Amino acid sequence: MRALPGPPQAATGIKVHSTSIRMSGFPLGAIICWGYGLHAYQHGFEIRGPSWLDAGLGCIWYDIEGKTESPVSVEQLRWMLRTLLADRFKLSLHREQKEMTVCVISTAKNGPKLRSSEEGEMTVSPEGDVLHFRSTLLSRMDEWLYAMVPYLILDETGLTGRYNFDLDYERYLEAYSMPGPGGPIDGTPAVNKALEPLGLNAELKRRSVEILVIDHVEKMPTAN
């Protein structure tokens, strides 16, 4: 695997194949997140470390590229990336349990009202203020709700299938939003209202969550 500092304007996302992985223009926090299988869009809640790990003042952006001689699983690619982080960035960390306020997605008292969909590609299509989820895992909703919910989002529905549903939380933002922790608007009540027709709830609860605490990490990787 190779690791090089790269400008953020070169970002092209992440490309994962059975024999390779490429991450372009990523902050180190996001790279650690992928390597350890954390919530892709919410790792700010699950990692404790230097402020420069994420986009913002002092952040450094990196290009990561790795190839294997034969096909491997995604989990094996994650292990390879962890090895790179330890070798090139001198990353050391430990795990802790931390109690925090989280947004829990759960089923309502009368049960879920969702349309099952076992076919087709998983897609989310914005149309005006409405999000159209198709063949979607509920555990993937955090990718679209994190901007409005300033808490770690946990799926506790127990539902593992794929579903078709529409979500229109924008219509409830003005009436149901409230000041969030640290200043941002907390749209959790609006999201909860939008989930009601689906037989789901979005509620703030206290949970013990495992976090990664960075003990040491270097800004510049050693030579490839």
Query: Which residue's entry shows tokens 């679209």?
Result: 144
> What residue type is assigned to position 111 of the chain?
G
Q: Is the dihedral of CA 150, 152, 157, 162 positive or negative?
A: positive
- Could you tell me what percent of the chain has a pLDDT over 90? 46
pLDDT at 5 exceeding the cut of 80? no
| Averaged pLDDT for residues 14-37 | 87
- What would the mean pLDDT of 74-95 be, rounded to a whole number? 94
- Give the model's pLDDT for residue 89: 94
Instruction: Say how many C-beta atoms besides its own lie within 10 A of residue 5's C-beta.
Output: 11
Q: What is the pLDDT of residue 90?
A: 96
The pLDDT mean for the chain works out to 86
Pick the range with the lowest mean pLDDT from 36-45, 113-122, 152-161.
Answer: 36-45
* pLDDT, tens digit (0-9, with 9 covering 90-100), for 132-178: 999 999 988 888 888 888 899 999 999 999 999 999 888 887 787 77
Query: Which is more confidently placed, 44 or 180?
Result: 44
For residue 41, the model assigns a pLDDT of 72
In the prediction, which pLDDT does 109 show?
A: 93
- Quote the pLDDT of residue 79: 94
Backbone dihedral angles phi then psi of residue 90, each to the nearest 5 degrees: 55, 40
Measured distance CA(181)–CA(28) in Å, rounded: 25
- For 194-224, b/e burial (b = at least 16 CB within 10 A) is bbeebebbbeeeeeeeebbebeebeeebeee
Name every residue whose Cβ is closer than 8 Å to that of residue 63 and which is 6 or more positions away in sequence: 2, 3, 4, 5, 6, 10, 22, 23, 24, 25, 26
Q: Is the pLDDT of residue 8 over 60?
A: no
pLDDT at 202: 95
Question: Taking residues 121-142, what's their average pLDDT?
Answer: 87
pLDDT at 70: 92
Report the phi/psi class of residue 167: left, alpha or beta, with left for phi > 0 and alpha for psi in -120 to 50: beta
Q: Would you place residue 77 in the very low, low, confident or very high pLDDT band (cuts 50, 70, 90)? A: very high
Give the per-residue pLDDT at 183: 62
- At residue 4, what is the residue type? L
Whether 54 has a pLDDT exceeding 90, the answer reads no
Question: What pLDDT is attached to residue 2?
Answer: 62
Of the chain, the percentage scoring pLDDT greater than 70 comes to 90
